[in-house]
Amino acid sequence: MDIKAKFSQVKLWILFFAAALVASGCGDESSSPSEAEKERVAITEKIQLVEKAGGLVMVVGGETITSDEIIESPAGRDEAEGKTLAELLKPLAENTGEEVFKEQAKTPVKDVVTGKISGILLYQYAKREIGQNANEALDKMAEKELRKFVLRYGGDEAKADAVLKEKGLDRRKFKEEHKKMIITQSYLSTKLQYRRPVTYGELAEYYETHRDEFFFKPGMVQFRLIDIDMSKVKVADAQSNRTEEARKLGAELAKRIDEGEDFAKLAEEYSNGHRQAFGGLWPEIQPDSLAAPYVVLAERAEDMKPGDIAGPIETVGHIFIMKLEAKETAGYEPLEKAQGRVREMILTDRRNKAIDELNARLLREAAIGQMDEFVDFCVEKIYKMNTKAVETVEGTK
């Protein structure tokens, strides 16, 4: 888990300045700058664009952000979950001209750059607020997170180290990243004013507004099935009628089930269905997702309760015997059961709304003069990287 799990990259930047403004009492423009405001300005001034071998880099509070780091960072957008920025923009680079690419790629690249800057600044600011006394406790928490990471790979330290290496990390860097996350989240939790109590009226109103979106539970059935495929029924000779033989088998099996024989064992022995090896047991499924010829099972299940057996049921090419194992009718999860989830949704919405309301002012307050130049450099590098790859492939044909 990282900072992004709780806050989007862009909003981390906004949160940093929100915290600074809260600390400085941001309402009185006529008063002289407070110490917190002076510190915010001093921190912001630590952002510099520097030219080095290989191109431009951003130096933020002594830490360097390279274009390669930006290009290989998570894209930071819901629709791009699991993708790096380079992977997100590759199709656009390959299928559009340079000007169109630069116009459309600038926003996601700027999101990532802004997030990197905000993460560094917010951590530095938070660390000063929390002080050095927490170092020992932070070391213990980071070490605990490292142990948990190793346990994900069965305690195999060599395998865990190999995974860290693939991510561009080692154990020291892993622990440092987690210490940053812990410090930052601890600091933000003391600055954000969104956790006032949620009233029952707010819960009820939110539930009614969003119940179709979040709280509707579709119907579900689970059953065992003996599926007699008429085309696979064994017959004594060419003159025998497969349909009649299938009907006889279905009637015989239904009688044996009624007399107490085990449904699952009979399914294993006689069913031609794809779940034969599982005693005919199907996974939970929404009734309206069943396709022909199985749609007839959904219709029968409507009037059944768990434990009931239906069949033989004849349909095109098949004879079914079904035992209903479980059933839930479609409906809404009641508010009484959903209250905890509704409360967290309301708190999340409050937090996001507060951040959005500050967005315009904070971006003006925190303008980074040279960031656009660095963003343009990263965009151009991504375009050249992808178009060069395409040209190389075409040149080998």
Read off the amino acid at residue 238: A
Q: Write down the mean pLDDT value for the chain.
A: 78
In a domain, 206, yes or no: no
In a domain, 213, yes or no: no
- Taking alpha carbons only, the member of 145, 157, 320 closest to residue 246 is 320
The pLDDT assigned to 227 comes to 93
The pLDDT assigned to 88 comes to 87
Please check the confidence at residue 1 and state whether its pLDDT lies above 70: no
DSSP 16-46: HHHHHHHHHTTT-TTSPPPHHHHHHHHHHTT
**Beta carbons of 210 and 32 less than 8 angstroms apart:** no
In a domain, 212, yes or no: no
pLDDT tens-digit map of 45-71 = 567 788 887 788 888 777 888 898 888
The arithmetic mean of pLDDT across residues 228-237, rounded, is 84
Residues 268, 373, single domain; the answer is no
Residues 343, 325, single domain; the answer is no
The pLDDT assigned to 368 comes to 61
Residue 271 banded pLDDT, cuts 50, 70, 90: very high
pLDDT tens-digit map of 202-215 = 999 999 999 898 99
Residues 373, 321, single domain; the answer is no
Residues 242, 195, single domain; the answer is no
Q: What is the CATH number of the domain that holds 310?
A: 3.10.50.40
- In the chain, the percentage of residues whose pLDDT exceeds 90 is 32
**Beta carbons of 9 and 76 less than 8 angstroms apart:** yes
The pLDDT assigned to 272 comes to 92
- Taking alpha carbons only, the member of 176, 155, 173 closest to residue 165 is 173
In a domain, 204, yes or no: no
Q: Of 329, 356, 382, which residue is a domain's last? A: 329
Residues 184, 61, single domain; the answer is yes
Continuous H helices in 80-133 = 85-95, 98-130
Q: Of 329, 351, 374, which residue is a domain's last? A: 329
In a domain, 210, yes or no: no
The pTM of this model reads 0.48
The pLDDT assigned to 129 comes to 65
**Residue showing tokens 């965009």:** 379
The pLDDT assigned to 360 comes to 45
Question: What are the strands, taking DSSP E only, across the chain?
Answer: 47-52, 55-60, 63-65, 216-217, 220-229, 309-315, 318-328, 331-332
Residues 44, 166, single domain; the answer is yes
The pLDDT assigned to 6 comes to 37
Tell me the residue range of the domain where 309 lies: 219-329
**Overall number of domains in the chain:** 2
Could you tell me how many helices (H) and strands (E) the chain has, helices first?
14, 8
In a domain, 184, yes or no: yes
Residues 190, 229, single domain; the answer is no
In a domain, 59, yes or no: yes
Please check the confidence at residue 98 and state whether its pLDDT lies above 60: yes
Check residue 9 and give left, alpha or beta (phi > 0: left; psi -120 to 50: alpha): alpha
Residues 155, 300, single domain; the answer is no
In a domain, 50, yes or no: yes
Residues 243, 187, single domain; the answer is no
Q: Return d(Cα 172, Cα 143) in angstroms, integer.
A: 10
Residues 27, 95, single domain; the answer is yes
Q: Return d(Cα 297, Cα 255) in angstroms, integer.
A: 20
Q: Which residue has the higher pLDDT, 148 or 180?
A: 148
Residues 155, 19, single domain; the answer is yes
Q: Of 295, 329, 363, which residue is a domain's last? A: 329
Of the listed ranges 99-108, 171-180, 235-244, the least confidently predicted one is: 235-244
The pLDDT assigned to 275 comes to 92
Residues 103, 169, single domain; the answer is yes
pLDDT tens-digit map of 365-395 = 445 667 888 899 999 999 988 776 444 434 5
